[in-house]
Amino acid sequence: EFSELQEFLDVPLKNYSSGMVARLAFAVATMTKPDILIADEILSVGDFLFQEKCEKRMAELLSGGTTVILVSHSIDQIERMCNKVAWLDHGHLRRLGPTAEITAEYRKFEKKDAMPAKITEE
C-alpha cells in the first residue's frame, strides 16, 4: 500500500521500472522499525507527493530512534531531513558537522564553482 503499486501486484518484479523497484524497496525496508535505515537517493524517484510521503516516514522512524543515513544530492532535502552532514567529494570526506554549517559552506562552493572563469585580454 505504501508503495502505491497495488495495480501492479500481478506484474512480475523483473518487469518493474527502476522507480517502481525503489518504491517497493523503501516500503518493505520501512514496514518495521529498523535500527538503521540507509536511503541512497531514494527520494529522487517518484512524484512530489511520494517524496513527501517518504520524508514523513523517515521522520517517524527518526523520532522512534532509528538512525537514518540519507544519501542525496538535494541540499534542500538534506536541510529538511538531517541534523548532521558528511560532505563527500569524489569519495573523500571533505567536511563533517552540523547541517546548517556544512550546507552553507557547500552552497558557497557550489556557487563559486558554477561561476564562469574570468576572461582576461592579452
Distance CA 57, CA 61 (A): 6
- Give the sign of the dihedral formed by CA 27, CA 30, CA 36, CA 41: positive
Place of cell 501492479: 8
Q: Does the predicted model carry a pTM greater than 0.85?
A: no
pLDDT of residue 119: 55
pLDDT in tens, the chain (122 residues): 999 999 999 999 999 998 888 889 899 999 999 999 998 887 676 678 888 899 899 999 999 999 999 999 889 989 999 999 999 999 999 999 999 999 999 999 888 766 555 555 55
Q: For the beta carbon of residue 71, count every other beta carbon within 10 angstroms.
A: 14
pLDDT of residue 118: 55
Count how many Cα atoms sit within 13 Å of the Cα of residue 61 in the half-sphere of its side chain: 26
Judge contact between 117 and 110, C-beta under 8 A. Answer: no
pLDDT of residue 64: 94
